Amino acid sequence: MQPTGSPAWRVKSITSVMAAGRGEFFRSLWTGLQRQSPPEGRPPPPGRGRGRPGPERAPAGSRGRRRPPRAASSGVTWSFRREREERNCLEMKAPRSREFYLDTLPPEILLKVLSFLDASSLFCISHVCKLFHQLANDDGLWKKIYTSEFGTQTWRPKLAHDAVMEVEERPLGHWKKMYFRTLAGQEVNKWKRELRDIRPHTGLPRQTELVLRTLNVSWELTLCDCWGEEVTLRENQVRFLQSSLIVRWSEGVFPCYHHISSIQVHGVRKETQKIPRVRPSWRSLILKLDMKTEPRSFIVRDKLIKLVHLSPGVIIGSWRGKNTVAFIMVSLHFHKLVEKSLLGSPACLYSEPVENSDPALDPQGHSIHFVLHSTGAVILSEHFSQVHCRTVRLEHELLEMTVIDSTVLQQHKLLSGNIKLPWKSEELEGAVENCCIMTLTVLNRFLTPVWCVSTPIFIRMAKKPLSAVYCGEHFLMHHNGPGGKVKMKLVWVKEQKQFFLISLIIYI
């Protein structure tokens, strides 16, 4: 270690101070020292004062006091002392170089430390750095976690060649994928077991509402305008009915109706602390509509609002005389609704397995569950079994099912209550007359749904009487969708002030 007064130390100190950005004073001092400092190993040259070299004597009048060294030497010593203090302060303020000391440890020790972590901690620590990412994805750690969590499979003898091939064919991260796949599969299998209880007259699971509420499933509406800006809204009201549910969004900032370019509805599972989540805040796409290509139809209006129907089952309510949206309502059928709300991706819909045969074209043993309802009240709910079917050819080859024949009076159905659709915005509420929601489920002979639809439907007056039996005003209700068509005939009886459904024909 060199002494503090050596020239080499002075050069090093002044270099560090100049690197820290001192001033012209230190720069000129550094230039002078370069001229004065001798090479290493040689004694320093004698002083270059105005007089001759040698020890200086005290001038007259100093009264015997010892004179301090020359001003130049004293200034240099004082400057070095000040530089040392400033350099120490700078070193204390400057951040020290961070060395990752775990790199020096052997991988075996780090793997032993990580083996004490659970699956969630091991998954989180894998995002810290590259070293932890490599160690936390070790197959040995995840195999141990998988075995302790789910146990081993039933042992069976294997040939040595088969065992070697199985080990060689396993990709990296096999046990980690197996763990999360099994964890997700256990939860999916749990609510799938609850959905196995099927109602015979609807062909739908009994526990659909219970499963959706238990899993804390909610629905989000995403609106995209013409400029690419998105608005995401949480539902304000959810109504569960026999075979469908109605979701309404009425609070928040809606884009103008003519500026909406696309509409998306996602099923979102809320955060819970009791149930471990494999994919937190997972969003599953249920439906997506492009406003440029999506067909739309004006339904009805009242004094405050007008309704526009977008298939499938989307209603947009806008204020009359304005271009502002008051609410958006969506009707969702229960068929595969849990799978659609959980097993889809944020950008793709849930796809069902494709069957080879088309059960809709089987003319034997169809049954139908038919419901007319509003947002909270049921107007008509009937189950029809062994429906008469025949094959007809309209635009395509369709299967025609006459559910209610207009000539058979015993089949006519009385509707309970008026046909109207209540609505509610953020500030006001009301009801639109001559409009309701139809939920239809067509089942084959194996009680498997082959066509499911839940959509708004409205009444329009017929141009001529539809039946000579009833004296009253006649009305029509039609639905034409991608899966089929529905035609209904109704009669308004003034004496009873109620509707009669006198004809119902379904084409699939």
DSSP code string of 112-165: HHHTTS-HHHHHHHTTS-HHHHHHHT-HHHHHHHHHHHH-PPPP----HHHHHH
C-beta separation of 323 from 256 below 8 A? yes
Beta strands 388-393 and 314-319, pairing class = unpaired
> What is the structure's pLDDT at 48?
46
> What is the structure's pLDDT at 80?
56
- 184-218 b/e (C-beta count within 10 Å ≥ 16 → b): eeeeeeebeebbeeebebbbbbebbbebbeebebe
> What is the structure's pLDDT at 22?
47
* CA 5 – CA 157 distance, rounded (Å): 81
CA neighbours within 13 Å on the CB side: how many for 223?
Answer: 18
CATH class of 101-153+167-194: mainly alpha
The two domains 101-153+167-194 and 359-507 share their CATH topology (first three levels equal): no
Pick the CATH number of 359-507 from 2.60.40, 1.10.287, 1.20.120, 1.10.101: 2.60.40
DSSP 8-state class, residue 295: -
> What is the structure's pLDDT at 418?
83
Q: Which two tokens stand for residue 151?
A: 């146990």
* CA 15 – CA 30 distance, rounded (Å): 8
Q: Among 193, 286, 201, which Cα is nearest to 243's?
A: 201
Q: 290's torsion region: left (phi>0), alpha (psi -120 to 50) or beta? A: beta
The amino acid sitting at 412 is: H
Q: Which two tokens stand for residue 185?
A: 């599969």
DSSP 8-state class, residue 304: S
Ordered by start, the domain boundaries in the chain are: 101-153+167-194, 208-342, 359-507
3-state secondary structure (DSSP) of residue 192: helix
Taking 70 as the pLDDT cut, the residues of the chain under it are 1-102, 152-170, 184-186, 271-281, 353-364, 394-395
How many residues would you count in the chain? 508
Q: Among 440, 434, 489, which Cα is nearest to 459's?
A: 434
C-beta separation of 101 from 109 below 8 A? no
C-beta separation of 490 from 502 below 8 A? yes
> What is the structure's pLDDT at 379?
93
* CA 114 – CA 137 distance, rounded (Å): 11
Q: Which two tokens stand for residue 46?
A: 């004698």
- 288-320 b/e (C-beta count within 10 Å ≥ 16 → b): ebebeeeeeeebbbbebbbbbbbbbbbbbbbee
Question: Other C-beta atoms within 10 Å of 245: how many?
Answer: 20
pTM above 0.85, yes or no: no
* pLDDT tens digits for range 292-315: 888 888 777 888 899 999 878 999
